[in-house]
Every structure is written in C-alpha cells, then in structure tokens.
C-alpha cells in the first residue's frame, strides 16, 4: 500500500499531481461529481483516500459536493472537491456559504471552454472572474493559477495551508492543458512539507466568541463535537455567530471578510518575474499560457527587445502593487489569455494613465503559440 506522501520523482499528469498534493497536505475527505477535465482528480482520490483511511464520496451534483466539503471541514477534517466550469457554476452558492462562514477547504476548478457545456475537452481560462465574483456579494478570495503538474502538486499543498491560515475555501484554477499534461513531478518527504494547522480557540467555551478575529482578522475555529456549541450561519452575523440583520453588522462582517485578504495580501501573493528591470514591455501571463509567454519573451530578448515576464501564481488577490510599480516605467503590458479579456482588464485598472495594456484574447480550445505572442511583442516594440 502506498504511503500518504509519495516521496520521489514521478511522471504524472496535473490532475493526479493535484490529488497527490492534496493528500500530502492531509486532505482526508473528497466529495465530487465527475466532469472533464477534472475527473482524474476524483478517480485518483477514490483510489488513494481509502488507502489512508480517508473518505471519498461521489455526490449527486456539485451543489452537494460543495456543501459536503463544508460539512466535513466543520467536522474537523481537511476537505476538497474538484470540478470544471459547469460544476463550478453550481458550486457558487456554497462557495459563498464557505466564504461567509469562514470554512477552510479547497476547490479545484480545471477550466475548459465555456459558456455552458462549451468545450468539455479543451482548454480555457474563462473562470478567472467567476472565481473572483461568481458568488453574490462582496468577498475576499484566494485563487491560485498553476502552470505545470509540479505546481498542481505544490499549489494543492499551499491551497490547504492558505485555507487554514485565512479560513476560507481556496480555489485552484487549473486549466485543461496543465491538468492533462504529463511531466516530472518531484514529491518531497513528509518532513519537508510544511503544513499550517487549524487555528483552534485558546479560550474555554464560556469565553469563546466564534467570529471574533485575532489581530490578522481571522477568528480561531471550534469544530463540531468540541463542546463549543458554535452557531454557524450564512446570514450576516455578529462575533457570537448570531444572525443580526442590520447595516452595521453587515458592515462589520463583510469588511472584515474582504480585509482579511486585502490586509494579508503580501503574505498570500506569489508570482514569478523575469527580466523586468529594464523592460519596456511586460508580458503578464498565467497558467499554461505562461509557458508559451516565457518562450516568446526569451526569443524577443534574443532579438534585442527589452521585454520581461510577470507570471502571477496567485491570481486573487492580484499582484496589483507590483503592476502599479511596473507601470511607472513600463510602456506596455501584453496580456495573452484564453478568454475575451479578464486579467487584462485587471492589469489595465492598475496601470491606467501610466502604461498601455494590450490583450491577446483566445476564445478557448487552444492556447497562444510562442510565435503569436512574439509577433505581438515585435509589433509593439
């Protein structure tokens, strides 16, 4: 039987790597509903979780899957689900409940072409804004965008850690190419993997306020069966967790939920950058597209063009300060993405009046070739 952490060098696809990352992070509960191109995650979990006495359950739909992982999380277990666009749409309701009730868990969304059933087997990056604004109301969210099977593994661990640290459902926004590509994945030993434990209350039940935050705006969490008698509700609530339907309570709660991400953004943010010091043009790309962007930037540099690359690894929160700084001296941002412009507008928003933004859209089905990006760089140089 295989151990929890499959230490060693593997040749794995992104979906399998993601499942292994989750298991290495201590995930013991998976609820899901099959959907291309995320099915392999469910299949791997159904294979691996019983080996480590975890629970795999295939639910009747994605609303149920999302609800079940929230329930499991309140039961004190690290939980995850995996889906793609149509299922992600169905999860928005309880994604909101998870954000409102500050429930740690992980949602993997492997993006495929939309809208609707769209392109079940082909790539897109169309869910970026959905992961930000797809559930109703104002929220602070965390979404990670892996570019390789290795990152599918690494980010799965990071997603669990962030979800425990900041108490929210964290989204891994993979895309079909990253999910289905098979590459080398290095899995470290269990000792080398740093895990963030759940923040338990330090006070007895009589003094515990379930939604009173610590200094970092995150409240410690008492799970079911620990004697704290917590009331958890999706209604606007006060520090006691009691529903309070007033503008004041709404302001207190929602601003904290938004600020706990904003104020901790520097801890959450992660990106890769390349040759930005003297860049006139910066390509901003994420996910599978970033791999082609990297190649395009390399070739353009060879041709003597001052171009750099910014590759966000966390797309939400967005590295807006970095973009603002770059906009002070950069002439142009080029944003290739497999959608009709989602992150490009975010880049534009943070660089407006200082630099131009050029979107290279793709409707989905395939990603940009390095030549396409290179062509745009050359035209604009």
Partner 1 sequence: MPNKTKNHKNKKPKVTKPHRVSKRGRTKKRLVDIHTSRDRYTPIHEFSPTRDTYEHGIHPMDQYLRPGRIPHIWCSGCGLGSIMTCFIKAVQELDLDASKIAIVSGIGCTGRVAGYMNLDTYHTTHGRAIPFATGLKLAKPDMHVVVYSGDGDLFAIGGNHFIHAARRNVDIDIICVNNYNYAMTGGQVAPTTPIRARTTTTPYGNFEYSFNLPYVAIGSGAVFVARWTALHVRRLKETFKEAILKRGFTFTEVLSPCPSAYNRMNKLGDGLDEMRYYKEHCIIKHGADPAEAKLGIHKDIIVGKFVDKDKPTFMDLYNDELAVVHGKEPTLEISKKK
Site for partner 1 contains 2 (CB under 8 A): no
Nearer to partner 1, 250 or 274 (CB): 250
Which residue from 324, 206, 337, 319 is spatially nearest to 270, judged by alpha carbons? 319
Least gap, CB of 253 to partner 1 (angstroms): 14
Asked if 1 is part of the footprint of partner 1 (rule: CB under 8 A), the reply reads yes
DSSP 95: H
Q: C-beta of 221: minimal distance to partner 1 in Å?
A: 12
Q: Which is nearer to partner 1, 80 or 323 (CB)?
A: 80
Q: In this chain, which of 65, 125, 165, 339 binds partner 1, going by CB under 8 A?
A: 65
76, 257, 88, 289 alpha-carbon torsion, rounded to 10°: -110
Maximum Cα interatomic distance, the chain, rounded to a whole number of Å: 69
43 binds partner 1 (CB under 8 A): no
Q: Which is nearer to partner 1, 99 or 178 (CB)?
A: 99
Closest by CA to 316, choosing from 171, 219, 175, 216, is 171
Shortest distance in whole angstroms from residue 131 CB to partner 1: 19
Distance, in Å, from the CA atom of 109 to the CA atom of 155, rounded to the nearest integer, reads: 13
Minimum gap (Å) between residue 337 Cβ and partner 1: 32
60 binds partner 1 (CB under 8 A): yes
Site size with partner 1, rule: CB under 8 A: 55
In b/e form, how buried is each residue of 337-372, taking b as 16+ CB within 10 angstroms?
bbbebbbbebbbebbeeebebbbbebebeebbebee
DSSP 8-state secondary structure symbol assigned to residue 260: H
Which residues 299-318 are close enough to bind partner 1 by CB under 8 A? none
For position 31 contacting partner 1 by CB under 8 A, the verdict is: yes
Element (H, E) at 267: helix 265-268
Determine which residue in the list 133, 196, 198, 224 makes contact with partner 1, applying CB under 8 A. Answer: 224
Stretch that binds partner 1, among 14-22, 138-146, 155-163, 244-252 (CB under 8 A): 244-252
63 touches partner 1 (CB under 8 A): yes
C-alpha 239/C-alpha 253 separation (Å) is 9
Whole-number minimum distance, CB 136 to partner 1, in Å?
12
Q: How far is CA 17 from CA 5, 40, 91, 178, in A?
A: 11, 10, 23, 10
We find the least distance from the C-beta atom of residue 158 to partner 1, in angstroms, to be: 23
Overall residue count recorded for the chain in this entry: 381
Beta strands 307-312 and 281-284: pairing type?
A: parallel
Positions touching partner 1 (CB under 8 A) are: 1, 28-29, 31, 50-51, 53, 55, 57, 59-61, 63-65, 67-77, 79, 93-94, 96-97, 205-209, 224-235, 238, 240, 242-246
């Amino acid at each position: 039987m295989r151990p929890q952490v499959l230490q060693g060098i593997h040749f794995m696809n992104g979906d399998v790597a993601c499942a292994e990352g989750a298991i290495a992070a201590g995930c013991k509960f998976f609820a899901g509903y099959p959907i291309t191109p995320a099915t392999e995650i469910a299949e791997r979990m159904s294979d691996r979780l019983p080996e480590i006495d975890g629970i795999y359950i295939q639910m009747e739909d994605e609303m149920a899957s999302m609800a079940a992982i929230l329930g499991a999380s309140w039961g004190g277990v690290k939980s995850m689900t995996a889906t793609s666009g149509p299922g992600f749409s169905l999860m928005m309701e309880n994604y909101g409940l998870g954000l409102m009730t500050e429930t740690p868990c992980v949602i993997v969304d492997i993006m495929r072409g939309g809208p609707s059933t769209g392109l079940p087997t082909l790539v897109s990056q169309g869910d970026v804004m959905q992961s930000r604004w797809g559930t109703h109301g104002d929220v602070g969210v965390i979404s990670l965008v892996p570019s390789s099977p290795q990152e599918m593994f690494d980010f799965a661990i990071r997603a669990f850690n962030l979800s425990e640290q900041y108490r929210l459902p964290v989204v891994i926004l993979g895309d079909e190419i990253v999910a289905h590509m098979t590459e080398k994945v290095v899995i470290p030993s269990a000792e080398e993997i740093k895990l963030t434990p759940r923040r338990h209350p330090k006070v007895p039940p009589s003094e515990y306020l379930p939604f009173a935050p610590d200094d970092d705006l995150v409240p410690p969490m008492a799970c079911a069966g620990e004697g704290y008698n917590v009331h958890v509700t999706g209604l606007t609530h006060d520090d006691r967790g009691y529903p309070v339907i007033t503008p004041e309570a709404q302001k207190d709660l929602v601003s904290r939920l938004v600020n706990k991400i904003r104020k901790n953004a520097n801890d959450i943010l992660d990106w890769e950058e390349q040759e930005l010091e003297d860049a006139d043009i910066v390509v901003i790309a994420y996910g599978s597209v970033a791999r082609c962007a990297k190649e395009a930037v390399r070739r353009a540099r060879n041709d003597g063009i001052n171009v750099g690359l910014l590759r966000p690894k966390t797309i939400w929160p967005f590295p807006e300060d970095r973009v603002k700084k770059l906009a002070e001296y950069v002439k142009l941002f080029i944003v290739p993405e497999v959608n009709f412009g989602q992150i490009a507008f975010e880049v534009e928003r943070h660089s407006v009046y200082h630099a131009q933004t050029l979107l290279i859209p793709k409707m989905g089905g395939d990603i940009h070739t390095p030549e396409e990006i290179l062509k745009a760089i050359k035209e604009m140089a």
